[in-house]
Amino acid sequence: MKTLFISGNDTDVGKTHVGTALVARLIAQGHRCVARKPIETGCDETAQGLIPSDAEAYYHACQQQFPLAEICPLRYVPAISPERAIRLAGETIHVCELVDLCQPATAADYLIVEGAGGLYSPLCSDGLNADLAQALDAQVLLVIGDRLGCINQTLLCLEALQQRHLKPVAVILNQVQLDDTPSMDNFDDLTRRLSLPVIIFPHASAPQQSSDDALSAITYLLESSNYE
């Protein structure tokens, strides 16, 4: 089983947008794919309980094969860091518990785990997102919001991954906003500095073919990668 941890340079950079599209593509290709968003904050309060919107997107990407409770077992209302939400709830949750919650109940080719916030955002009582990625022995798909300031954040994230001996599969430059600064080209600036693949994930308004091309590039890297 290949384990991929989806992280980013910040919150709201499109991790779920990229992750769910990737899960749907892998399943369409015939792979057994399990998705996990083990902890989510900012959940909606409903008569049916707390609804985690990101995890719900993975639930549908997985074609509703797995219960939402398996995808996201830990849910909190405040839209704050998971570690703080846990603390305010008077609870303690350790990285090792998150690892257990991420394990598939059935055989899988891919385990896709999405964190919360950025790579170094506090995720639980004793760890950051990066700590969970390490504990899962996962490779990392680094989603970067394509906007001013992202080059510095990307390089810092990659340096952190290197220090922790975590292998990034690629940098996904997610176009979170329509280009309103024609002279800015973060893709060019990053590709000139990195030996790692940089893939543009197009804005939601872009033609479907652009997203398909990006997903094809990501799945090719995953399938050709020699990790288990």
Task: Report the DSSP pairing between strands 74-75 and 33-36.
Answer: unpaired
Q: What percent of the chain has pLDDT over 90?
A: 89
pTM: 0.95
pLDDT the model gives residue 46:
95
pLDDT tens per residue across span 138-184? 999 999 999 999 999 999 999 999 999 999 999 999 998 877 677 88
Alpha-carbon span 172 to 198, nearest angstrom: 6
At 4-57, the pLDDT tens digits run 999 999 999 999 999 999 999 999 999 999 999 999 999 999 998 999 999 999
Q: How far is CA 182 from the centre of its chain?
A: 28
Torsions phi, psi for 79 (to 5 deg):
-85, 70
Determine the angle formed by the axes of helices 53-61 and 15-28, rounding to 10 degrees: 20
Domain ranges for the chain: 2-224
Q: Which residues are catalytic?
A: 37
Distance CA 209, CA 104 (A): 32
Whole-angstrom Cα distance, residue 164 to residue 167? 9
What would the pLDDT profile of 56-115 be if each residue is shown by its tens digit?
A: 999 999 999 999 999 999 999 999 999 999 999 999 999 999 999 999 999 999 999 999
Kindly indicate whether the domain formed by 2-224 is annotated with CATH number 3.40.50.300: yes
